[in-house]
Structure 1
Amino acid sequence: MKKWMIFSFTEKGSEWNKTLLDWRISLGDSCKGYTVSRYAKKYGLAELPADWKDEIGKGWGETIYMFIGATGIAIRAVAPFVKDKFKDSPVLSIDEKGQFILPLLSGHIGGAVELAKEIGKYISAQPVITTATDVENVFAVDVYAKKKGLCLDDREKAREISAMALDGTLDLKTQVKEVDTFPPMELREKDCIYLAPKNIYVGIGCKKGILGEHLRKMLHKVLDRLDLKEVQICEIGSIDLKAEEPGILELKRELGVPFRTFSAGELSRVETVSQGSDFVKKVTGVDNVCERAAKLLCPNGDMLQPKMAMEGCTFAIVQDSKPAGSKTAAKAQKFEGLKEEEKTTFIKILIFSGTTEGRELVEFLADYPVQVYASVATDYGKECMKPQENLTVLTGRMDEPDICDFLKKVHPDLVIDATHPFARVVTENIKAACAETKMDYLRCMRDGGENKHTEKPKSESFIVGSVQEAADFLAQTKGKILITTGSKELACYQSIPDYKERCYARVLSTEQAVKDSHRLGFEGAHLIAMQGPFSVEMNVATLKLTQAEWFVTKESGKNGGYEEKVRAAQDAGVHLVVVGRPEETGESLEQVKEILKDRFGDVER
């Protein structure tokens, strides 16, 4: 999830500000838009505070800054904070007509060049690129390293390599070397640059008031013992009691990496550590902060350095054995919408949704410091999701191998199955994938997980075990039939004699559902494409319109409109055919919310 701040100063600029703000939020980014007071309310933007330039400094190195207006405003605003091309924030400037977009700072390492191209495509603006390697369309070692999850430790050599690329004398095969660890300088070939995986996670414990300079010095001693470099660090972590510790925050800024904290409860979930301290446990609630934090930062990594005490601070080092850039890396990323930084930021929760319960859980987590992934099968399911800052929506059906691949890639802290109670195959695939990858699985059941009717039908009703059984039963009857069991299993009803005349199908108003229904012979007045929820009155009106004597439904619970269908059958005096819910166990929606509160609600916000 990227963090953005967008600034505008005129009315036209504010229009673009609002457009870009809504777009980035829809992509799952955290974004704030600011403008002068006279346009703030009109365009739904925040009023530009008097100290807005100081706010830039507070987020420098972590936030993308976009200015809509004169380039000079952007340059003067960020100038006091520019220090290091490897740690500076990406800065972009757009003219107020939206004709040109300029990546001003951190074009390669920060990704400003690629962002300019992405934004330019979205608003039909011309990116103005001035970096030599981009203009000449030649190899850029810093861009190459970033894309492959690698890092470099010799900036001067990087400049030499870029110069060779520009004059055509660079041999990529022999002069750009990918290694597992950086070799000592004295053993390196003269005209070669070395790239190693960025795959190190550091857990930290320290005394209150310790200086950032001291922390960094001690960290270097630990890294030196392991032949590691500072540039290989992906993230640092500690207990939430240290969330505002000045020394760690200074270290975070100097390293230019995320700093994640965990509650004592979360740290306690790590089963084993090399050593524990009763004193530390008395103060913090957990016996070993650094080692547990490092393991939570990279759950499937290798512990290179267990807890090491170093003059008022402790460190533990974990290495991701399969980072994006290593020779043993997993398959290329295949899930649209997944962002690289999300793999190592926040607690991660994966919700298999497509239901009211799934959407409620996603919204429930909107204010939690977690990254939520919501998996839905269709574009319609994605449209039903309200955009929120910590949400990434994954669209498309996944079988068991696909789910396994995704779980291995993201390592979610919890997988919640909130799929439809009748999506039995999907649930079995999720369960199997979680068992295979040893992920924590939780089933969210509709109506408290009970499999009994929420309201007992008073009219004549027939309970069957499947849609096929419903169709077989109805084949022995007479009279028109209103079917509300969905488009996926409509083929079952083709076994009913004269089904094209007797049957009326009510399906979702999606293009795919309508196409599938047409293909099976349900068309014209016999196909009703509507989006629920449906009231009792709407159900009764539909029964009367179709002159149905039989009403087929699944026992889908309160959120599936089952009660309204039962009452409509009673009021209309028709026979009700109910496809019973499959037997399974799980937790109710409210119980799942309580579990989420207990597990993640004590994280400092």
Structure 2
Amino acid sequence: MTAAILAFTRRGATLGKKLAEALDASLHVPARFAAEVGAEAYDSLEGWTARMWGEKDALIFVGACGIAVRAIAPHVKDKFTDPAVVSVDEAGRFVVPLLSGHVGGANELALRVAALTGGQAAISTATDVNGLFAVDVWARKRDMAITDRTLAKEVSAALLEGKSVGFASDFGHPCPQGLTVSPAELGVWVTWKTGNGPFARTLRLVPKGLILGIGCRRGTPRAAIEEAVSAALAGYEPAAVERVATIDLKQNEPGLLAFCAAHDLPLSVYSAAELAAVEGDFTPSDFVKGITGVDNVCERAAVLAGGAILVPKQAKNGVTAAVAGRKIV
């Protein structure tokens, strides 16, 4: 978590410096005494907040809560995208998570800050106050995407009302305390799949773990790759994809690079010799071997990147795509 700390006074800067060192965060103070306390200077509270909002995972204000609230008000969107925001008084007595307590991690950050200052974290989220399972926290800790925000809220509401919420996992996760493996109308399903879930109303939590193996002709546009990948992923949640793998001959293909950039996916590349050495039963092609030196690119690359084939080679518009999945623990 990247964090920035803002202090308004010299006393606040003293506490801010302590927090910055412990949390590996940057400290920002008014320009008039920045050099004196060894911190970064800011000229405008509004400008600083706007800049940090897009750069940092967490903002910590050392001072009055009201100042922090007014500063962040124009930028607040929703708990799934807003950074964690925490306010702590200059004495370090009270630490208040103001925004993104669960998904953004503000509650946990507030507890860390309170431990450092010897103060009290004022956590007010209902599931925490009542000691209940928090689906957004559970998912965030395991790097799982929440596919339906409305259902996520319904899960929390049902638990607060004392209703049963089911749980199922394709990967063998133990049932979290507070949920049930018995039949339920509303439930949580940890999966890579789309389609009908095990409950009448199913909230999917999607862990990263799918690997796209891709091969393509020279000059293949991004649109063709998008179409081929969409077909290969039929029945699977796109949010589960964690990387793309291919042969090193394609590492500078503009269309492939554009596809990876658009979806924020890293690209792993391997030589023909590395791909040929992968053991397994793959779909061979003499044509591909004649061009690349190996009989299959997409399946072999996906396996070499750490997966087991789930969707074998699919060919479409000059693109071959395969889907592999790594082990989820």
Question: In structure 2, which of residues 256, 269, 274 is the aligned counterpart of residue 271 of structure 1?
Answer: 274
CA 117–237 in structure 1, closer or farther in 2 if over 3 Å, else same = farther
Distance in 2, Cα, partners of 1:290 & 1:301: 10
Show the counterpart of 1:230.
238
Shift of 1:133: 0.9
Contact 1:220 1:230 (8 Å CA) reproduced:
no
- TM-score under structure 1 length normalisation: 0.39
The offset of 1:65, in angstroms, is 2.1
- Measured after TM superposition, the shift of residue 164 of structure 1 is 1.2
In the alignment, which of 49, 52, 71 is matched to residue 56 of structure 1?
A: 52
Q: Is 1:23 aligned with 2:22?
A: yes
Indicate the SS of the match to 2:98: strand
TM-aligned CA distance change 1:183 to 1:54, over 3 Å: closer
Partner Cα distance (1:228, 1:53) in 2: 38
The equivalent of 1:102 in structure 2 is 96
Q: Cα–Cα, structure 1 residues 125 and 143, in superposed 2: closer, same or farther, change >3 Å?
A: same
Q: Which residue is 2:193 aligned to?
A: 182
After TM superposition, give the deviation of residue 144 of structure 1 in Å: 2.6
Flag the 1:303–1:132 CA change in 2: closer, same or farther, 3 A.
same
**Contact in 1 for aligned 2:260/2:267 (Cα 8 Å):** no
Aligned pairs for 1:122-201 within 5 A: 122-148=116-142, 150-171=144-165, 172-173=179-180, 174=182, 175=184, 176-185=187-196, 188-201=198-211
Percent sequence identity is 30
Question: 1:93 and 2:92 equivalent?
Answer: no
Instruction: Note the alpha carbon deviations across 1:346-393, whole angstroms, 9 max, x for none.
Output: xxxxxxxxxxxxxxxxxxxxxxxxxxxxxxxxxxxxxxxxxxxxxxxx
Q: Provide the C-alpha distance between the structure 1 equivalents of 2:72 and 2:318, rounded to a whole number of angstroms.
A: 36
- Compute the displacement of 1:218 (Å): 4.7
Match of 1:14 in 2: 13
Query: SS at the partner of 1:271?
Result: helix
- Aligned partners of 1:162, 1:34: CA distance in 2, in Å? 37
SS in 1 for 2:68: helix
- Equivalent residue, structure 1, for 2:306: 300
Residues 139 and 261 from structure 1, CA distance in 2 versus in 1: closer, same or farther, beyond 3 angstroms? same
Choose from 205, 223, 230 the match for 1:221. 230
Q: CA deviation at 1:87?
A: 3.2
How far 1:166 moved relative to its partner?
Answer: 0.5
Gaps of 5+ in 2: 166-178, 277-281
Q: 2:175 maps to what in 1?
A: none
Contact 1:200–1:320 (CA under 8 A) maintained in structure 2: yes
Whether the 8 Å CA contact 2:214–2:245 is kept in 1: the answer is yes
Indicate the RMSD between aligned Cα atoms, in angstroms: 4.4
| CA spacing shift, 1:247–1:184, aligned 2, 3 Å | closer
Deviations 1:275-304 (A, max 9, x none): 979999xxxxxxx89986x778xx433354
Paired residues, what number? Answer: 289
Q: Deviations over 1:389-428 (max 9, x none)?
A: xxxxxxxxxxxxxxxxxxxxxxxxxxxxxxxxxxxxxxxx
Contact kept? 1:291, 1:316, Cα under 8 Å: no
In terms of fraction of residues, the more strand-rich structure is 2
Alignment CA distance shift 1:58-1:170 (3 Å): same
Amino acid at match of 1:184: G
CA contact (8 A) 1:270 1:295 kept: no
Quote the offset at 1:24 in angstroms: 1.9
Structure of greater Rg: 1
CA contact (8 A) 1:295 1:318 kept: yes
Looking at structure 1, the residues matched to 75 and 228 of structure 2 have their Cα atoms a distance apart, in angstroms, of 25
TM-superposition CA deviations, 1:288-345 (whole Å, max 9, x none): 89986x778xx43335468878889997654221x2xxxxx2xxxxxxxxxxxxxxxx
* Superposition pairs of residues 382-401 of structure 1, within 5 angstroms: none
Q: In 2 relative to 1, CA 55–149 (structure 1 residues): closer, same or farther, beyond 3 Å? A: closer
* CA distance in 1: counterparts of 2:127 and 2:271, whole angstroms: 49
The residue identity in structure 1 corresponding to 2:58 is: I
Contact preservation (8 Å) 1:205, 1:290: no
Q: 1:116-135 CA deviation, whole Å, 9 max, x = no partner? A: 11221122121111211112
The answer to whether the Cα contact below 8 Å between 2:94 and 2:122 also exists between their aligned partners in 1 is yes
**Alignment partners' CA distance in 1, 2:53 and 2:299:** 29
Deviation of 1:23 after TM superposition, in Å, equals 0.8
User: In the aligned structure 1, how far is the partner of 2:243 from the partner of 2:102?
Assistant: 20
CA shift digits 1:22-57 (9 cap, x unpaired)? 1123xxxxx322222233223322222665344324
Taking a change above 3 Å as real, the CA distance of residues 149 and 47 of structure 1, as seen in their structure-2 partners, is closer
Q: Is the 8 A contact 1:202 1:315 kept in 2?
A: yes
Alpha-carbon distance in structure 1 between the residues aligned to 2:298 and 2:69: 42
Shift of 1:96: 2.3
Q: CA deviation at 1:161?
A: 1.6
- CA distance in 1: counterparts of 2:215 and 2:54, whole angstroms: 24
Moved more, 304-313 or 230-239: 304-313
AA at the equivalent of 2:22: W
Deviations 1:114-159 (A, max 9, x none): 2211221122121111211112222222223334554442322222
> What residue number does 1:379 align with?
none
Kindly indicate whether structure 1 or structure 2 has the higher relative contact order, using CA contacts under 8 Å at least 6 residues apart: 2
- Alignment partners' CA distance in 2, 1:234 and 1:311: 24
Q: Which residue in the other structure is 1:66 paired with?
A: 60
Q: Please tell me whether the aligned partners of residues 304 and 319 of structure 1 are also in contact (alpha carbons under 8 angstroms).
A: yes
Q: Residue 119 of structure 1 aligns to a residue in which SS? A: helix
Residue 195 of structure 2 aligns with an amino acid whose one-letter code is: P
TM-score when scaled to structure 2?
Answer: 0.67
Whether the aligned pair in 2 keeps the contact of 1:215 and 1:247 (CA below 8 Å) is no
- The CA distance in 2 between the partners of 1:24 and 1:12, in whole Å, is 19
Cα offset, 1:106, TM superposition: 2.0
Provide the rounded CA distance (Å) in 1 between the counterparts of 2:225 and 2:78. 17
Partner of 1:550: none
The secondary structure found in structure 1 opposite 2:114 is: helix
CA contact (8 A) 1:99 1:125 kept: yes
- One-letter amino acid of the counterpart of residue 156, structure 1: T
